[in-house]
């Protein structure tokens, strides 16, 4: 039996890795970046949303917000466990950074990360009250759905499985956000909602990364990416515009 295939050609042919001893140093590094980006974004997202729970106008809204905080933290934990198999001390990791920290509302950081953590840039902006939080959660929730579909196919099987389990949970968060925005829209608060959409739309869009990434080819060869950033962004724009349209809101 031909057993002399290199891991690189195996991955390029669509092969799947299953445990930490399979991975090469460069694959490990890219995989860790992918995982820390997800974990940091979930922890920062949950931390930011936690502050908004009490702003929920009714008990149903507060329950939904608390559930989202709980489940995003749990999703982070699922991926943190996989990082643990690579030697990361999950307890220490979860506490090594102040996840509630935010920049100013008008900070202009584009898609760049801060020095201290790997959260997507969008999670560095502060939420302003309930309606703003729900709008952000709707736009970002739709983005996460697109990202999860992509990352459920990564070549590291334990992570792909974690994302497949996480995807429906995150999808539900986007649904809850949509219900929340619909309720606010019914109450006739459209200009504030539209202002939030205007604020968050370009920032969520930036979280898909730049149109052309020098890394894209090597990530593709490693099976860590399949679809170009621009294509994912276009998908998100189309899907989310349709949702906003239903709600009487516009993407600019």
Partner 1 sequence: MARFQDLEVTDVHKTIRDAVVVTLKPVNGAAEEFDFTQGQYLTFRRDFDGDELRRSYSICAGKDDGILQVGIKRVDGGAFSTWANEDLKVGDTLQAMSPMGGFFTPLDAANDKTYLGFAGGSGITPVLSIIKTTLTREPQSSFTLIYANKGVNTIMFREELEDLKNTYMGRFNVIHVLETDAQEIDLFTGLVTEEKCAELFKTGWIDIESVDTAFICGPEPMMLGIAAALRTAGLNDGQIKFELFASGQPGCAKKPAVSKDAASGTNQATAAITLDGATQTVEMAKDVTILDAALGNKMDAPFACKAGVCSTCRCRVLEGEVDMVANHALEDYEVEKGYVLSCQSYPVTDNVVVDYDQ
Q: Which stretch in 13-21, 55-63, 181-189, 224-232 sits in contact with partner 1 by CB under 8 A?
A: 13-21
Residue 9 or 250: the one with the smaller Cβ distance to partner 1 is 9
d(CA 197, CA 194): 5
Q: Which of residues 36-55 bind partner 1 (CB under 8 A)?
A: 36-37, 40
Q: How far is the CB of 118 from partner 1 (least distance, A)?
A: 5
Residue 165 or 187: the one with the smaller Cβ distance to partner 1 is 165
Residues 52/127, Cβ–Cβ less than 8 Å: yes
d(CA 156, CA 213): 21
Residue 130 or 151: the one with the smaller Cβ distance to partner 1 is 151
Q: How far is the CB of 112 from partner 1 (least distance, A)?
A: 13
| Selection from 134, 122, 113 nearest residue 55 by Cα | 134
Q: Is 226 in the site for partner 1 (CB under 8 A)?
A: no
Which stretches of 108-228 are DSSP H helices? 129-151, 157-186, 190-206, 216-221
Q: How far is the CB of 26 from partner 1 (least distance, A)?
A: 6
CA 225, 229, 234, 240: dihedral to nearest 10 degrees? 80
Q: Is 219 helix (H, G, I), strand (E, B) or coil?
A: helix
Going by C-beta distance under 8 Å and a sequence separation of 6 or more, which residues neighbour residue 225? 150, 154, 216, 219
Q: Which of 74, 85, 212, 217 binds partner 1 (CB under 8 A)?
A: 85
d(CA 76, CA 71): 9
Q: Which of residues 138-177 bind partner 1 (CB under 8 A)?
A: 152-153, 157-158, 160-161, 164
Q: How far is the CB of 239 from partner 1 (least distance, A)?
A: 22
Residues at the contact surface with partner 1, assessed by CB under 8 A:
1-3, 5, 7, 10, 13-19, 21-30, 32-33, 36-37, 40, 83-89, 92-93, 96-97, 115-118, 152-153, 157-158, 160-161, 164, 214-215, 218
């Amino acid at each position: 039996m031909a057993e002399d295939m290199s891991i690189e050609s195996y991955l390029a042919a669509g092969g799947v890795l299953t445990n930490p001893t399979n991975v090469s140093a460069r694959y490990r590094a890219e995989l860790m970046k992918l995982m820390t980006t997800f974990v940091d974004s979930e922890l920062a997202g949950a931390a930011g949303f936690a502050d908004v729970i009490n702003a929920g106008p009714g008990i149903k809204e507060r329950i939904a917000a608390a559930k989202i905080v709980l489940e995003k933290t749990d999703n982070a934990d699922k991926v943190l466990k996989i990082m643990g198999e690579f030697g990361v001390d999950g307890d220490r990791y979860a506490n090594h950074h102040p996840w509630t920290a935010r920049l100013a509302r008008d900070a202009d950081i584009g898609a760049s990360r801060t020095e201290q953590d790997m959260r997507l840039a969008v999670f560095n902006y502060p939420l302003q009250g309930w309606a703003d939080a729900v709008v952000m959660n709707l736009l970002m929730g739709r983005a996460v759905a697109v990202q999860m579909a992509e990352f459920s196919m990564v070549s590291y099987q334990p992570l792909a499985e974690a994302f497949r389990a996480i995807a429906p949970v995150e999808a539900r968060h986007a649904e809850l956000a949509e219900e929340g925005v619909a309720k606010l829209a019914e109450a006739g608060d459209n200009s504030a909602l539209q202002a939030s959409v205007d604020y968050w739309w370009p920032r969520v869009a930036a979280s898909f990364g730049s149109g052309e990434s020098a890394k894209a080819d090597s990530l593709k060869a490693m099976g860590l990416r399949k679809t170009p950033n621009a294509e994912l962004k276009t998908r998100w724009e189309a899907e989310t515009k349709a949702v906003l349209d239903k709600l009487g809101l516009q993407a600019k």
